[in-house]
Amino acid sequence: MSTLLAVLDALDDLPQARDLRERTYRALGDTVVDVGCGGGRAVGELAARGVRAIGVDLDPAMIEISAERWPAGEFHVADATALPLDDGSVTGYRADKVLHTLDEPGRAVAEARRVLAGNGRAVLVGHDWDTFVIDSGDPELTRALVHARADSMPSPRVARRYRNLLLDNGFTDVTVEVHTIVWTGAAGLPVLATLGAGTWLDDQAARARDDRLFVAVPVFLAAGTRAR
């Protein structure tokens, strides 16, 4: 299993994450594209509800894994800024933990508008990479690790721009919510391993063994309607 997939699974398995996914599925309609689908869990869950669920990811390995895990879904290798869909062909668009990987996330939101039918709903979900909250004996090093990881991303702070991106691309009835994901055990270690290693990560592993780990990540959920 890839490191990225392990991180995604660690996040998706949390009760808070399951509740948040349920919230993102509201009012998406009967044909939904999940952009940056990763391991495909959202596609599988939507397909189980009778929705035509289309998963798109730029990584062929992720698409292969998704198709194996969730055979009821439809999966394609494609870029978020050039979806293999006709104009106005979907009723719902979902992009979860993906826009931070793009140099120009606004182009993906413009593409969302193109593929959505009139009154279709777009949902953008993700965290701001500067806002990891981690209990640590070395807060200065922890802060440096968090910021270094953020600075390695093409668009690490795009989540704080979700509302404006939707408005700038003609979406109406735009709303924004903040939900917090919390880890207090070993399930959070794959996430922390993406930030640092060595004695810092060893300390976090010891905290997990002693039931003293604490990691909190605010997740932003923005939604809007494509005007006719």
Section 137-152 average pLDDT: 96
Kindly report the pTM of this predicted structure. Answer: 0.92
DSSP string, 94-108: EEES-GGG-S-HHHH
Q: What is the pLDDT of residues 89-112, one digit of tens each?
A: 999 999 999 999 999 999 999 999
Residue with the bigger pLDDT between 157 and 39: it is: 157
Quote the CA–CA distance of 23 and 31 in Å, as a whole number. 17
Strand, coil or helix: 9: helix
Parse the chain into domains and list their residue ranges: 3-133+155-181+219-226
Quote the CA–CA distance of 140 and 127 in Å, as a whole number. 21
What is residue 2's predicted lDDT score, i.e. its pLDDT?
Answer: 62
What is residue 143's predicted lDDT score, i.e. its pLDDT?
Answer: 97
Nearest to 96 by CA among 121, 124, 55: 124
Contact between 5 and 38 (Cβ < 8 Å): yes
**Rounded to 5 degrees, what are φ and ψ at 138?**
-130, 80
60 has a pLDDT exceeding 50 = yes
Q: Architecture of domain 3-133+155-181+219-226 in CATH?
A: 3-Layer(aba) Sandwich (3.40)
Contact between 200 and 228 (Cβ < 8 Å): no
CA angle (95 as vertex; 101, 97 as ends), nearest 5: 45
What is residue 37's predicted lDDT score, i.e. its pLDDT?
Answer: 94
Token duo for residue 106? 């606004």
Please report where in the chains the tokens 């909190």 appear, as a residue: 216
What is residue 5's predicted lDDT score, i.e. its pLDDT?
Answer: 72
Q: Please state, rounded to an integer, the average pLDDT across all residues of the chain.
A: 94
pLDDT category at 15 given cuts 50, 70, 90 is confident
pLDDT category at 218 given cuts 50, 70, 90 is very high
